[in-house]
Amino acid sequence: MADTATNVENKTEDGESRRDFLLLATSAVGAAGVAGAIWPFVDSMNPAADVLALSTTEVDISQIEEGQSVTVVWRGKPVFVRHRNAEEIEQAAKDDSASLVDVQKDADRVQKPEWLILIGVCTHLGCVPLGQKPGDPRGDFGGWFCPCHGSHYDTSGRIRKGPAPLNLAVPPYEFLDDEHVKIG
Amino acid sequence: MRKLFIAAVAALTLSAGAAQASGGAYVPELKDVNWSFEGFFGQYDQKQLRRGFQIYNEVCSACHSLRLVSYRNLSALGFTEDEIKEIAAEKSIRLPHGDAGALLNDDGEFFTREAKPSDKFVSPFPNDAAAIDANGALPPDLSLIAKARLGGPQYLYSFLTGYMEEVPEEVMHQKGFILNEDKNFNVYFPGYYTSMPPQIMDEMVEYEDGTEATAAQHAEDIVAFLNWAAEPELDERKSLGLKVMLFLLVLTAMLYALKRKIWADVKH
Amino acid sequence: MSSPEWNNPVVKWVDDRLPVFSLMHHSTAGYPTPRNLSYWWNFGSLALTVLIVMVVSGIFLVMSYTPHVDMAFDSVERIMRDVNYGWLIRYIHMNGASMFFIVVYVHIFRGLYYGSYKGPREILWILGVIIMLLMMGTAFMGYVLPWGQMSLWGATVITNLFSAFPIVGDFIVTLLWGGFSVDNPTLNRFFSLHYLLPFVLFAFVGLHLWALHAVKSNNPLGVEMKQPEDSIPFHPYFTIKDLFGMGLFFMFFLFFVFWAPNFFGEPDNYIPANPMVTPPHIVPEWYFLPFYAILRAITFDIFIIPAKLGGVLAMFSSIILLMVLPWLDRSKVKSCKFRPVYKWFFWILFLDCVFLGYLGKKPAEGSYIIMAQLATLYYFAHFLVILPLMSKIEKVVDLPESISAAVLKKSEDA
């Protein structure tokens, strides 16, 4: 009987530490499993393949004449594609030294000076500024005018007057050739 | 005792599975093909899928749509972005109206644009009625055909290669069987008569990769492609499955060891 | 019985105000469980596990599913093809439904074999039958959502059944449909209810566990716990055993998800629903097959009850009947271990249920009809005739004194 008692004691001590390690190891593996199981569910909320496929928009700019503007949709938002004339380009460069709310050089906002591509969403509260169509008010600086709260943008799409804090955003884009631009 | 009952249940379930739901009509056993994508470790053979796509594109797409597959999905077959753009651009998509809002252009036709990689495969017909009008019956969309038919790829292969000149004895002598001269006899097709004439023949398509163009090869390749169209996730599904199962094996073994340890001194 | 003393002051503060920690302790480390439970007792926790898997996978599916007849089928295919891991979540949900029924059927048969429905567990058992009914309703409506051929036609057949009820029949069917056939209104309301029912189910599972905790678990001997030596605390013994069982279960479950995801399904449901074309064989999912067989077995009028109504009544009563089982079986002995004669009848019932399932898939023609009728007759005879009879005339084997006595004896014999 005494033998059994000592055996039990020894087993308990050794057994316990072995059990603790096994418990720790199993818990760790289990936790890894849970994390691995959660990931697909979280990832399923990321943009799906068809949404990603539409994350770029190709625009044919060959038909846009000088002084003309076109609005395209990119990721559900309006994008202004403007073929600037010499006057507008000159004015934009000149205004580099004007007092700007959001300081930025025109040259930093375009890849080719005659093509101005902007996200047509006012940086104040999100309305779509006017100025794309002939006859639209262009505001005091020859660019765009937001009718919601009176923000004025210049020929480089920079905020000059009104409540908007930032210049109209420039989306990522690249020229595929002289006639096509890929936005996004 | 327990073994007897398990055996009985197994026997019943197996017989239930083997029996065809055709109400007793004679159907020969489906032809057996060893697919690269079947089994525990199965994966698609990309070259085969490309050959199969070539057949779909050059032959089947004249009548059958594949409307759930997008052109961009072809990247799984090894096509580059530019190749996919070209493949898509061969097809036109009808626009609901032109830029000025007109329904038809000056020639009295619908406005169209070239298909893009993000588009789904363009159907050969604008709607079901036009498809029936052109073919006599509606050629089914093939996006899910490999999952929508009992027997899956084995059935599709058997069907495509199962057209016969003469109706076999077993079918002739069946109760209620009537010869039909207007349709095409296929011993695997439920009801035996299909509106689709035999399509697969030797040298139907010249393979870009130079594989010998026998009818059997064509049938295998198109069926493999159709299985991909229905189950594009198969490669990832099976390989992820292996990892998951291995992991669970390890975890379950550890849980068992832990269970034994915890229960070691408990009489039960 | 007494709440433990909490050393951690935060734990104590919370517990004094909302006894969550005491509840957790009472249900686990402080919960006496018979020491001789076998692996047949794992299936309750497995059922809860599957329920959670179904709700989680279902919630993520709903993020991408559109419940409109013109878009439902395509939205499911979008999940399969475009949503990241969408195929995985869909196949988990689809096969999880089959797993849910496998686990619950085993759980029920365990209860039948060991007499877990007998006093004081009658309410526990009845709650279980209600849970099964809720499961069946949820599964039925869920199957309609992908809007395949079987979705539409299975829904049409089953909803049409309610027209069998006299006077109110047609009103009920039109009310269910929201129109004149299974169509968009039907799909939308099934979607709403399919989302709702699992949470009602959760509530009943809560009641089921509460009832269980009131009377404690049965065990393979069918002899109640009498003294402290009969039991061991649920935690850690059965927590680890349940976790191990889950490991095995997930291996079984995920085998189907990854390698045979359409094993339990019908190919016809990959064909978009077409109200103009009926599939040659309309079959419900496998877990409904035995009930389907019973439904179709009544091909004749019974007195003033027309055959169609007879079938509906037979089908529903085959489940409702289970609720009164505790009063049909009067034997004082719970476990079939000590009921050598009744044990045979248990296994015959089991085979009969499997046979009914087999017949449910067959066309209702020829010799299958009479076979289904006999199998149905036997099913009812088991509960209404054989069981009460057995209670009266059966000679039972002597029960052990107690659980610990039996366990001790077993370890001495070993």
Question: What residues contact A12, with CB distance under 8 A and at least 6 apart?
Answer: none
- Please give the C-alpha separations between residue A71 and each of A64, A107, A117, B115, C393, in angstroms, as whole numbers: 11, 22, 10, 21, 89
Angle between helices C169-177 and C149-161 (to 10 degrees): 150
Q: Which phi and psi angles does A69 have, rounded to 5°? A: -125, 145
Cross-chain residue pair B147–C267, CB shorter than 8 Å = yes
And the tokens for B234?
């198969």
Which residue in chain B is spatially nearest to A36 when comparing CA positions? B244
Cross-chain residue pair C347–B240, CB shorter than 8 Å = no
pLDDT of residue B21: 41
Please, are residues C140 and C162 in contact by the beta-carbon 8 Å criterion?
no
Core vs surface per residue B240-261: b (16+ CB within 10 A) or e: bbeebbeebeebbebbbbbbeb
Cross-chain residue pair B70–A50, CB shorter than 8 Å = yes
| Rounded CA separation B30/B190 (Å) | 13
> Above 50 in pLDDT, residue B71?
yes
Cross-chain residue pair A29–B70, CB shorter than 8 Å = no
pLDDT band (50, 70, 90) for residue C385: very high
| Rounded CA separation A130/A122 (Å) | 10
pLDDT band (50, 70, 90) for residue C396: confident
Of C35, C247, C351, the CB nearest to B251: C247
Q: Which residues of A fall within a CB distance of 8 Å from C90? A: none
> Above 60 in pLDDT, residue B9?
no
| Type and span of the H or E element at B169 | helix B169-172
Angle between helices C184-215 and C169-177 (to 10 degrees): 100
Of A41, A49, A51, the CB nearest to C89: A41
Pairwise pLDDT comparison (A154 vs A2), residue with the higher score: A154
Angle between helices C307-323 and C367-381 (to 10 degrees): 30
And the tokens for B28?
């020969």
Residue range C199-228, pLDDT digits in tens = 999 999 999 999 999 999 999 999 999 999
Please, are residues C84 and C27 in contact by the beta-carbon 8 Å criterion?
no
Q: Which residues of C fall within a CB distance of 8 Å from A33? A: none
pLDDT of residue C94: 98
Under DSSP, the state recorded for B264 is T
Longest dimension (CA), chain C: 74
User: Which H, E and C letters describe C228-273, residue by residue?
Assistant: HHHEEEHHHHHHHHHHHHHHHHHHHHHHHHHHCCCCCCCHHHHCEC
| Type and span of the H or E element at A79 | strand A77-83
pLDDT of residue B13: 52
Please, are residues B165 and B197 in contact by the beta-carbon 8 Å criterion?
no
Of B251, B261, B264, the CB nearest to A30: B251
Which of A13-17, A170-174, B77-81, C199-203 is predicted with the least confidence, judged by mean pLDDT?
Answer: A13-17
For chain C, which residues lie within 8 Å of any Cβ of chain A, measuring from their own Cβ?
Answer: 56-57, 60, 63-64, 78, 81-86, 88-89, 243
Q: How far is A168 from chain B (nearest CA, A)?
A: 27
What percentage of residues in chain C have a pLDDT greater than 70?
A: 99
> Above 50 in pLDDT, residue A86?
yes
Q: How far is C410 from chain B (nearest CA, A)?
A: 8
pLDDT band (50, 70, 90) for residue A163: very high
Beta bridge partners, A115, equal: A83
**Residue B182 CA, distance from chain mean position:** 27
Cross-chain residue pair C84–A41, CB shorter than 8 Å = no
What would the mean pLDDT of C268-272 be, rounded to a whole number? Answer: 98
Instruction: Kindly tell me the burial class for residue B44, based on how many C-beta atoms sit within 10 Å of its own C-beta (0-12, 13-18, 19 or more).
Output: buried
pLDDT of residue A4: 42
Of B117, B254, B265, the CB nearest to A25: B254
Radius of gyration for the alpha carbons in chain C, expressed in angstroms and rounded:
24
Q: For residue B22, give the amino acid letter.
A: S
A129-133's contacts with Cβ under 8 Å and 24+ in sequence apart are A129/A153, A129/A168, A131/A69, A131/A80, A132/A69, A132/A70, A132/A71, A132/A80, A133/A69
C285 in active site: yes
| Rounded CA separation C319/C324 (Å) | 10
pLDDT of residue A30: 97
Residue range C122-138, pLDDT digits in tens = 999 999 999 999 999 99
pLDDT of residue B17: 44
SS3 A138: coil
Cross-chain residue pair B257–A22, CB shorter than 8 Å = yes
pLDDT band (50, 70, 90) for residue B4: low
What percentage of residues in chain C have a pLDDT greater than 90?
A: 93
What is the interface pTM, i.e. ipTM, of the complex? 0.93
| Rounded CA separation C111/C35 (Å) | 18
Instruction: Kindly tell me the burial class for residue B173, based on how many C-beta atoms sit within 10 Å of its own C-beta (0-12, 13-18, 19 or more).
Output: exposed
> Above 70 in pLDDT, residue A128?
yes
> Above 50 in pLDDT, residue C242?
yes
Q: Which residues of A fall within a CB distance of 8 Å from C85? A: 40-41, 43-44
Q: Which residues of C fall within a CB distance of 8 Å from A30? A: 243
| Type and span of the H or E element at A58 | strand A57-60
Cross-chain residue pair C82–A44, CB shorter than 8 Å = no
C213 in active site: yes
Sign of CA dihedral C33, C36, C42, C44: negative
Asked if the C-beta of A108 comes within 8 angstroms of chain C's C-beta atoms, the answer is no
DSSP C151-182: HHHHHHHHHHHGGGSTTTHHHHHHHHHTSSSS
pLDDT band (50, 70, 90) for residue B173: confident
Which of A137-141, B22-26, C30-34 is predicted with the least confidence, judged by mean pLDDT?
Answer: B22-26
Computed over every residue of chain C, the mean pLDDT equals: 95
Residue range B10-43, pLDDT digits in tens = 555 554 444 444 456 788 999 999 999 999 999 9
Please, are residues A173 and A183 in contact by the beta-carbon 8 Å criterion?
yes
Residue range A7-59, pLDDT digits in tens = 444 445 555 676 689 999 999 999 999 999 999 999 999 999 999 888 888 89
Residue range B97-123, pLDDT digits in tens = 887 888 998 999 999 999 999 999 999
Residue range B121-164, pLDDT digits in tens = 999 999 999 999 999 999 999 999 999 999 999 999 999 999 98
Q: Which phi and psi angles does B110 have, rounded to 5°? A: -70, 145
Instruction: Kindly tell me the burial class for residue C398, based on how many C-beta atoms sit within 10 Å of its own C-beta (0-12, 13-18, 19 or more).
Output: exposed
Cross-chain residue pair A48–C63, CB shorter than 8 Å = no
pLDDT band (50, 70, 90) for residue C73: very high
Identify the active-site residue in A83, A124, A149, A152. A149
pLDDT band (50, 70, 90) for residue B177: confident
Q: Which of C253, A151, C346 is nearest to B245 (CA)?
A: C253
Bond preceding residue C267 cis, omega within 30 of 0:
no
Residue range C132-175, pLDDT digits in tens = 999 999 999 999 999 999 999 999 999 999 999 999 999 999 99
Q: Which residues of C fall within a CB distance of 8 Å from B247? A: none
Residue identified by tokens 């104040």 is: A124
Pairwise pLDDT comparison (B1 vs C10), residue with the higher score: C10
Question: What residues contact C371, with CB distance under 8 A and at least 6 apart?
Answer: C355, C359
Computed over every residue of chain B, the mean pLDDT equals: 90
